[in-house]
C-alpha cells in the first residue's frame, strides 16, 4: 500500500465512521413510533402515550410541562386546522396524572388569539382543570436566544418553553402550501416570536435550527382527522379526511416521517423532515423505525 492509497483508505474510513456508528446505534436503540387507532379519541391518545412508555417516563412529580398544540387558526375542530381538543385534553390529563405541577397550553396564533382559543375548542376543553394554564401569548415573554444555526443565528423564543421541564409537541397532521405538510417539526413555529414570516425563505433549515435548540420530549400527532389540501388553515370540510389515528413517539423526526405516509407521501418528499434528519434530530428512514400499532 503506497502512501496515496493509505490516505485514501483513512479518508474513506473517516467519512464512513459516523454513518457506521449511527447504524450500529440505530440497531440497538431503534426509535419507536406508536400508532393508535379508534374512534374514542381520549382512549387512543392514552393508549399511544402508554405504549411509548407512559407519561411517567417524561413527566416527573413537580415538573412544569408545556403542551403545545396547533391552535393558530380561527377554525372549528372539524376543519382539521387545529389539534383536536380531546387529544389536547387527554395529553394534559396524563401530565397531571404523572404528577406535573403545572401544565401550560398555548400557541402564537395566526388569527386573533381570542377567536382561535375559543373556536378551536381547546380553551373550552381545558376550562376548570386545576393546575392548567391556557393563556394567550404575552410578547414580553419572548427572549432572544442564540441558536447558532445554519440559517438562524438567533431568534426570539417563548420563555415558558425555555424554562419548562418537559416540552410535549401535539400537532395536527395537515397540508401546508410551502412545506407540503406541517407536523411536529413545523409546530415549533408556535413558540417563535418576531417576524415569523421571515423564516419562510429558508424554512426547512430554520426549523431544524429551532428544533435543535428546543428538544421535544414527546411528540403526539393528532391524525384523528387530517387536512389534505389548502393547508395550513383549510376551511372546506371536503379537504378533511377522517383517519381516527393518534401517533406518538419520542423521536420527533420519526413521528413526522410516519405521519407523512398517511398523506401518501414519502418522508424524503418533505424538506423539513430531511433537514432535521440530516441535522441528527431523529430518524426518517421508515425501515429503521419500529412501528407499533395498538
* In the complex, minimum distance from the CB of residue 195 to other proteins, in angstroms, rounded to a whole number: 5
Nearer to other proteins by Cβ, of 23 and 138: the residue is 138
Q: Which residues of 62-77 are buried (b: 16+ CB within 10 A; e: fewer)?
A: ebbbbbbbbbbbbbeb
CA 189 to chain centre: 10
Return residues touching other proteins (CB under 8 A). 74, 76-79, 84-86, 89, 110-112, 114-115, 118-121, 124-125, 135, 138, 140-141, 163, 176-178, 195-198, 200-203, 230, 232-239
Give dist(CA 147, CA 151) in Å, integer.
9
Q: Cell numbers at residue 182, please?
A: 406541517
For the bound state, the minimum distance from the C-beta of residue 100 to other proteins, rounded and expressed in Å, comes to 16
Listed residue (268, 215, 255) closest to 35, CA to CA: 255
- In whole angstroms, what is the distance from residue 265 CA to residue 68 CA? 25
Q: Is the dihedral of CA 118, 122, 128, 134 positive or negative?
A: negative
- By C-beta, is 37 or 159 nearer to other proteins? 159
Q: How far is the CB of 194 from other proteins (least distance, A)?
A: 10
- Taking the complex as a whole, the smallest distance from the CB of residue 239 to other proteins amounts, in Å, to 7
Q: Provide the sign of the torsion angle of the four alpha carbons 266, 269, 272, 274, taken in this order.
A: positive
Looking at the Cβ atoms of 2 and 140, the one nearer to other proteins is 140
Q: In angstroms, how far is CA 62 from the centroid of its own chain?
A: 24
In whole angstroms, how close is the CB of 48 to other proteins at the nearest point? Answer: 19
Alpha-carbon distance of 17 to 163, in angstroms, equals 36
What count of other Cβ atoms lies within 10 Å of the Cβ of residue 22?
13
- The three three-digit cell numbers of residue 91, written as one number: 395529553
> Which residues lie closer than 8 Å to 40 by C-beta, 6 or more apart?
none
Rounded to a whole number of angstroms, the minimum distance from the CB of residue 7 to other proteins is 32
Q: How far is the CB of 206 from other proteins (least distance, A)?
A: 11
CA–CA gap between residue 25 and residue 115 (Å, rounded):
46
Q: In terms of CB distance, is 216 or 233 closer to other proteins?
A: 233
Nearer to other proteins by Cβ, of 165 and 285: the residue is 165
Amino acid at each position: 500500500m503506497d502512501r496515496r492509497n493509505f490516505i485514501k483508505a483513512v479518508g474513506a474510513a473517516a467519512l464512513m465512521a459516523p454513518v457506521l456508528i449511527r447504524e450500529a446505534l440505530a440497531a440497538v436503540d431503534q426509535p419507536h413510533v406508536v400508532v393508535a387507532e379508534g374512534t374514542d379519541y381520549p382512549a387512543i391518545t392514552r393508549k399511544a402515550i402508554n405504549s411509548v412508555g407512559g407519561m411517567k417516563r417524561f413527566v416527573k412529580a413537580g415538573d412544569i410541562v408545556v403542551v403545545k398544540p396547533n391552535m393558530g387558526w380561527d377554525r372549528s375542530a372539524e376543519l382539521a386546522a387545529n389539534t383536536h381538543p380531546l387529544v389536547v385534553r387527554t395529553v394534559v390529563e396524563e401530565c397531571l396524572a404523572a404528577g406535573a405541577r403545572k401544565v401550560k397550553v398555548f400557541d402564537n396564533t395566526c388569527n386573533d388569539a381570542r377567536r382561535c382559543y375559543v373556536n378551536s375548542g381547546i380553551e373550552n376543553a381545558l376550562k376548570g382543570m386545576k393546575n392548567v394554564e391556557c393563556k394567550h401569548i404575552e410578547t414580553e415573554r419572548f427572549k432572544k436566544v442564540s441558536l447558532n444555526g445554519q440559517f438562524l443565528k438567533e431568534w426570539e423564543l417563548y420563555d415558558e418553553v425555555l424554562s419548562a421541564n418537559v416540552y410535549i409537541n401535539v400537532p395536527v397532521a395537515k397540508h401546508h402550501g410551502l412545506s407540503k405538510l406541517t407536523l411536529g417539526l413545523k409546530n415549533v413555529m408556535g413558540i417563535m416570536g418576531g417576524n415569523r414570516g421571515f423564516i419562510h425563505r429558508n424554512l426547512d433549515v430554520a426549523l431544524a435550527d429551532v428544533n435543535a435548540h428546543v428538544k421535544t420530549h414527546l411528540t403526539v400527532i393528532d391524525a384523528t382527522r387530517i387536512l389534505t389540501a389548502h393547508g395550513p388553515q383549510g376551511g372546506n370540510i371536503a379537504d378533511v379526511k377522517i383517519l381516527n389515528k393518534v401517533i406518538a413517539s419520542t423521536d420527533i423526526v420519526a413521528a413526522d416521517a410516519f405521519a407523512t405516509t398517511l398523506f401518501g407521501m414519502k418522508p424524503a418528499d418533505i424538506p423539513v423532515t430531511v433537514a432535521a434528519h440530516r441535522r441528527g434530530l431523529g430518524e426518517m428512514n421508515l425501515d429503521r423505525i419500529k412501528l407499533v400499532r395498538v
